[in-house]
């Protein structure tokens, strides 16, 4: 993947993050509207979208943008797209409203259903996770760039370390609790961290967690950017049938339930009771 292109996307995401922070730090009362799917939307979501969409459209001629904050094209139109940008201008709007800081700007480039470039920017911390197919992944902070990699599980198990899961603060807690019990019965201690937005995938990508089970609904723009980072860092993202999570293959933009796996060499499929093999 073109390094210059990745840097351009990072710069655009940082600009969107600055627009989000203007709303976040404003003394004015935050107005929250509700969209047709009952999800919240704020002025920050819309401000970020207005920066991201036109800027991305100019990066590669003829490559369209699919953003959460726009009217959705029909599948008949989308199915003709071999390359497109998919954008969540503000992932973690509920966390934004709660002022936890756990929200991100997500941008991915999709090619033939596969996320091949991804940027996840964390405005409050001024941290960016980025990666591209074949080029690895890195975490950018004020101190500079650090390559990130998923971590192996076997040495941790041999050392008696706990398996570390990351899970949503808002969704799917009951199903995750059952999964934790199953993992504990087979592998021993499990530590579960709760966090908002696509930061959960990024923790797996940087080797700070072993598994992120998502057993509640998400949309494709919620996951694509961070999935690109995870895969560039050596991990994998599979659906609940253990098939690679892919994009723009159906009318609905809802994802199936999925697992973000750090050490793909470990037999997670058997542990998680999936039914079909990894592709």
- Binding-site residues from annotation: 68, 88, 90-93, 222
Query: What are the CA-CA distances from residue 104 to residues 58, 64, 241, 242 (Å)?
Result: 22, 21, 28, 27
Binding residues for Mg(2+): 68, 88, 90-91, 222
Which positions make up the binding site for substrate?
A: 68, 90-93, 222
Q: Residue 197: how many CB atoms within 10 A of its CB?
A: 28
Would you say 47 and 18 are in contact if contact means Cβ atoms under 8 Å apart? no
Rounded Cα–Cα distance for residues 77 and 158 (Å): 51
**Residues 109, 115: contact at Cβ < 8 Å?**
yes
């Amino acid at each position: 993947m073109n390094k210059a292109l990745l840097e351009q996307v990072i710069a655009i995401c940082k600009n969107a993050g600055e627009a989000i922070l203007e709303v976040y730090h404003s003394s004015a009362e935050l107005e929250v509207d509700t969209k047709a799917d009952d999800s919240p939307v704020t002025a920050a979501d819309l401000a970020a979208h207005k920066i991201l969409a036109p800027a991305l459209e100019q990066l590669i001629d003829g490559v369209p943008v699919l953003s959460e904050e726009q009217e959705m094209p029909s599948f008949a139109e989308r199915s003709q797209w071999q390359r497109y940008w998919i954008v969540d201008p503000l992932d973690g709007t509920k966390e934004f409203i709660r002022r936890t800081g756990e929200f991100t700007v997500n941008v991915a480039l999709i090619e033939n259903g596969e996320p091949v470039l991804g940027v996840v920017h964390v405005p409050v911390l001024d941290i960016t996770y980025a990666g591209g197919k074949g080029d690895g992944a890195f975490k950018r902070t004020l101190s500079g760039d650090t390559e990130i990699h998923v971590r192996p599980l076997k040495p941790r198990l041999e050392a008696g370390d706990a398996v570390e899961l990351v899970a949503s603060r808002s969704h799917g807690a009951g199903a995750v609790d059952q999964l934790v019990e199953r993992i504990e019965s087979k592998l021993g201690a499990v530590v579960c961290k709760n966090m908002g937005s696509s930061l959960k995938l990024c923790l797996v990508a940087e080797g700070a967690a072993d598994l992120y089970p998502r057993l509640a609904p998400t949309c494709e723009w919620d996951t694509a950017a961070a999935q690109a980072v995870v895969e560039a860092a050596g991990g994998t993202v599979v659906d609940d049938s253990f098939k690679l999570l892919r994009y723009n293959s159906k009318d609905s933009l809802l994802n199936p339930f999925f697992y973000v796996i750090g050490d793909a060499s470990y037999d997670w499929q058997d542990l998680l009771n999936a039914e079909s093999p990894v592709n």
